[in-house]
Amino acid sequence: MPLPPGLNPVEAGRLGLWLLSIRSHKAAQKRVAFPERAWRQTLAVKFTRLICQWHVYEYPGAAKILAALLRIPPSYAENLMKPSWSRKLPAKHAITLAQYLESHASQCEALAHELWAYAKARDGVLRPR
């Protein structure tokens, strides 16, 4: 196919590369660096997402926290977080996690009451209903 009049092959190549770079740039802007994965919803993953709100690329990692709480090796904690292990969480570990959540919830509620009391004493702010 002949080139249009006044356009040499070098300029045509540069124009083509420029058009490809624009397309590539638009595609890169649409990409997400670290997408959320909704398919990993085992009980262990739900727990770690609630307590450890960092992502997989952040330190120290949800498996390490889970391992420390349950007093198990990190490799076993990683296995508990896999979809294929969704029904393999032992009852003793489920009880430990449930107790931790109940304790954590009561501590959060107590701190919230302290903060509301502080705000009321400081500025007379009333709690919204």
Q: Sketch the domain layout of the chain as residue ranges.
A: 1-31, 43-123
Packing angle, helices 91-123 and 62-70, rounded to 10: 110
User: Cα(129)–Cα(126) distance, rounded to whole angstroms?
Assistant: 9
Binned at pLDDT 50, 70 and 90, residue 7 comes out as: confident
Q: In angstroms, what is the C-alpha Rg of the chain?
A: 27
* Residue located via tokens 């949800």: 62
Are 50 and 101 in contact by the 8 Å Cβ rule? The answer is: yes
pLDDT digits (tens, 9 = 90+) for 28-84: 888 776 666 555 677 877 887 777 766 656 667 788 888 999 999 999 998 988 888
- Separation CA 15–CA 20 (nearest Å): 9
Confirm whether pTM is higher than 0.75.
no
Q: What is the pLDDT of residues 73-110, one digit of tens each?
A: 999 998 988 888 878 889 999 999 999 999 989 988 88
